[in-house]
Amino acid sequence: MRIRNDRAQDEPHIDLVPLIDVILVLIIFFVITTTFDARSTLQVQLPTASDQRNAEPPRS
């Protein structure tokens, strides 16, 4: 009598949980880096500082 080997008949499968984890990490990485890139292209005009020697001292 021949004993069946159930392991040989199992079809290989791909575990999707690690794949989904990697894809989510990549999506989060690209969202964060594109947000920082958009902020660096903003043109901001900072006010110039006035001469502090002519200013009155604060009253306490």
Say which residue the tokens 């110039």 belong to: 48
Distance from the first to the final alpha carbon of the chain: 103
CA dihedral 4, 5, 8, 12 (to 10 degrees): 110
Confidence of residue 34 (pLDDT cuts 50, 70, 90): confident
Of 1 and 56, the one with more pLDDT: 56
Say which residue the tokens 């008949």 belong to: 9
Residue 7 has pLDDT above 70, yes or no: no
Q: What's the pLDDT at 21?
A: 97
**Each residue's pLDDT tens digit, 35-54:** 665 556 778 888 887 766 66
| Global pTM exceeds 0.75 | no
